[in-house]
Structure 1
Amino acid sequence: MDIVITDIAMPGMNGLELVKQVKRTHRRIKCILLTGYAEFEYAREALQHGVVEYLVKPLDHQKLRAALESTIRTIQTELDRTASYQQALLAFKEHLPALKDKLLLELIQGKTYPQERLKDKLDGYQLNFQMQDRVFLFLIRLEEHFTNFGLESQLLFEYAVTNIALELLGEGFKVWHCRDAYENLVFLVKSIEGDTVDPEIILKQLTHNTHQLHSSVNEYLNGGISVILSYPGEFPLHIRSMYEDSLSALRQQVGNDKGYFISLTDKHKGSPVQPLKDLYASPTLMHLLETGQWQGYKERLQQMKEFSNSLPAYNEEYIEEIRSMILGSFHYIAHKNHTLLSDLVGRELLDKTLFRSISQLISWGETLVDTLQVKLERDTRNNRMDIIKEIQSCIAANLAEASQQFVADSVSLHPAYVSKLFKQVSGVSISEYILNMKMEQAVENLRNSDMKIYEISEQLGYANSQYFIKVFKEQFGMTPQDYRGKL
C-alpha cells in the first residue's frame, strides 16, 4: 500500500487518528484527507501529521486526480532517491576496508589533515580512534618461509596473519591496520579501557599477545614473523615517528625463518644521527623541477633547512647528502633538456663545494634554481619562436597545400600541439594565418599580374574558383574582379 485516502469524519476513529496510526507503523505511506470542514485548524493539524493533500468536500474529481498524480510523483522521487542512496551505501561499504587502509597509510607516511576533517573521516569510516588517544603501533614482517611463494600466496598469508592478530587483540583493544609500502603489516591499537590503564600494563599485555601471535603463526602457517612493538604515543601526532622508529628497528635486524620480537619501550634517545626524511618526501626535488614548480622547489629547500636545524646535531654528511640530492635533480633536468648543467648555470657555480652551514648550502641551491629557471625559460621561448618561424616558412613555401596537418607533418610535431603553440605565440590560429597569407597573395597577384581569376584560385590551392571568389568577398567585401577594377 502506497496511498491512503480517508474522510476525517468516521465512526469509531476519525481520519486524523487513522493518519496518526498509519504514520506510526508505515511512515512512507502517503495520506490524503477528505473533509467537509474547511476550518484552518483541521488543515494545520492534518499537515502536522504528514498529510500530503487536504481536500474539502464536496469533492472535485479534477482536484483529486491532480492530488493523486502529485502524490505518485512524490513517491517515485523518494523511491529513486532511496535506490540511489542504497546503491551508494553499498559501494561505500564495499570500499570501506580499502579506505581505512589508505587513511592509515597516509597518516604513517606523514600526511596531515585539518582536525575536523580527520574527525569526519574517522567517524565516516567507523574507526574507533579519536584525537589525543593514547595508541601503540606494531609492525609485522613476514619472513623467509612466506616469501618463497608467489605474490598471490603471500597476500593470502598476510590475510591469515592479520586475522590471527585481530583475534588475539579483539577482546582488549581497538585495532586499525594496513599494509605499508614495504609489504609490512602495520597495526595501530588502543586499549578498550582508554587512558585509564597504566601504559606499562598495556605494553605487558601487547607483548604477551605478540608472543601468542608468534607461536600461532608458526603452528598454523609453518612460518615466522618479526614484530616491532612501539612505545605509546598520541594520536595522530606521534604515529608517523612511531612508525618510522619501528621501521628503522625492523631494518636494523636481518630476518630469519623464525623471526624475532623487539619492544621499543622508549622513544629513540640514542644516537643524534637521524634520517633526513623530508629530503625524500613526495613530490621529490626531481619532480618539482620536471614540472616547472620553481617556487615549490625553493620552499622545499627551506623545509630542509628548518628540519635540519631542528635536529640535535648535524654533520658534514648531512650537508653532502642534501648537496647530492640538489645536484642530482639539476643534472637530471638539464640532461632531459639535452644540455649540460655546466652550460646552463656555469662551471663556477657547480664547483662550489665548501659549505660551513646548512644555510649556505640552501642559499646555493636557491641560486641554482633561479639561474636554471631564467636560462630554461629563455631557451623555451627561443625554441618556440624557432618552431613558429619554421611553420611560417613552411606555409609561405607551400601556400597551395598548406593545412594544419601538412604543417605538423613538415615540422614533425603533433597537429594539436602545433595548433595550440601557434595560437599562443601568434595570437591567431593556423587556419586563420593560412587564409590571411592566401588573401595577401591574391591581392598581390591582382595588383601586379595579368593572371586570370581562375589561375589565381588554382595557384592558391582553391580547386573551385567560385569558392575562392566567395572567400575573397567575405574577406574584403567585394569580388576579386571588382577589386581589380578599382585599382
Structure 2
Amino acid sequence: MMNPSRDCFKMIIVDDEHEIRQGLKNADYASLNIEVVDVCENGLEALKSMDQSPVDILLTDIKMPLMDGLELIQKVSQRHPYTKKIVLSGYGDFEYAKRGIEYGVLDYLLKPLDFEDYYGVLAKTTAILNEEREKLLRQANLERKAKLSAHLLRKNFLGELLRSSLTEETIELDSASAEVMLEMDGTYAVCVLRFQSHPPRPSYDKDSEWGLIVFTLDNLLQDLWDENGYGYHYVDPYNGQCALIVANAEWIGSLEAGRTDLEGELDRIVKALRRFRGLFKSHLAYTIGPIVHRATRIRHSYLDAEFKFEDGPANEEAVRVVSENPSAGNETKTGQTNGKRMVLEVKRFIEHNYDRTITLDDVAKHVHLNASYLSYLFKEITGMNYIDYVTEFRIEKAKTILSESNWKIYEVGEMVGYENPRYFTLIFKKYTGQTPLEYRNTTYKSHAKDG
C-alpha cells in the first residue's frame, strides 16, 4: 500500500530483455520524484520483490518467462491495489491492452519506447499518486482528529455526568456525541478507585510525571474496564481518582443479589494496576457506591462512593457496598458527623478569608476534599450552594460596615471581597433589594428616627 509519508515514489521495472531494463533504469526519474528500487526480468521475481517491499509504480512488459505481465498485473491488483500499473510491450495487440485495462492498468506504452511519451505517462501517474497521497493524509488527519475529539467529548461528558446535575435531555444529547450508551431508566452503580495519598497530587511528581500517570491509568482502565463491556471509566486529571461506571447487567445483578462478584473483579483490576507501582508509587483503594435506577442519578452513586473515603482511611482492598436507603445505619450517621465537621471548617475558612477571592477549589484544598464532593457535601449539610453561602456571608458583612461606618461604597466592596464596584452593587441589590447607597441612607434614616 502506498505510504503517504514517503518523500518520493517507489518504482519497479520488469522486462526480460537486459538492455531494455538497463536503459529504463538509467532514465531521468529525479525530476519526477521517482526512485527505481528494483529491476526484475520476470513477473515471479517482481511479485516476490513487491511482496517484501511494496511500490507505488509498476512498469512491466507483457511477454516474459515464468510469469507474464498480465498475470503479474492480476496478482498485483489483488495484493497491492494502490500500486499504479503501466504496461510496456512490443506487441500492439489491442486484446492485450483491453485485458490489462480490466486489471486497472493506468496506461499502455509500445516498444520501441518514445521517452517523451514515457515521461508524460510517468508525470500523469505521479500527479494521480500525489492527489491520492494528499487525500490519504487528509483522511488520516480527519480520522485522528475525530478519534481525539470523540475521546475528549467522552472524557468531558463523563466528568460532567459524575460531578454535575444533568437533565435527561442533556444526557441523551451529550452521550450520543460522546459515543456513550446510557439508558435513562437503566440501573447503574459507580466504583471509585483512588490513591491512598488522595486528594492532592503526590508531592514527588513533576508535571510530566503526573501527566504520564493519568495517561497510563486512562489507557489501562480503557482496556480493563471499557473494552470488557463493564461500563465506562473517568480519571480525574487533578488527583488521579478513577470512577468506574457499572453499566453491565451481570455486575449489577451480583450487587443486587449481595454477591461479591464485582468486588472480585475490582480486586483483579487493582492487582493489574500494581504492576505499575514504580510509576504510581502509591496503593490504590476502592469503594462501591449504591445502585441507582436512573442515568440522572449516576452522580449520586459516585458522590456516595466518594463519601465512603471521607468516612475514614480506606484499606487497599477495602470494599463497602452502601445502600441507597438514606437510613442506612451507623455508617451513614458517622459520615454525617464527619461531613458536618468538614462544613464547619469550610465556614471558618470563609469567615477568615471572605475579603479576598476564594474559589471552591481553594476551600477544597484547605479541607483536603475533592471540589465536586465538597460542593455536594456542603449542599447536603447546609441546604445551600457554596457560592450562595459565600455571597450571603459577604453581603451581611457589607450591611454591617455600611450601617456602622462612612467608608465609600467601592471601599466596602473591596473589604468584603469584591474588586469591581459595579458588580458589588449588582450583587448587593440582588440580595437586599437595594443598592449599597440606598441601604446606607435607609439605615441612617432609621437610626435617626430611633434616636
Normalising by the smaller structure, the TM-score range is: 0.3 to 0.5
Higher CA-based Rg: 1
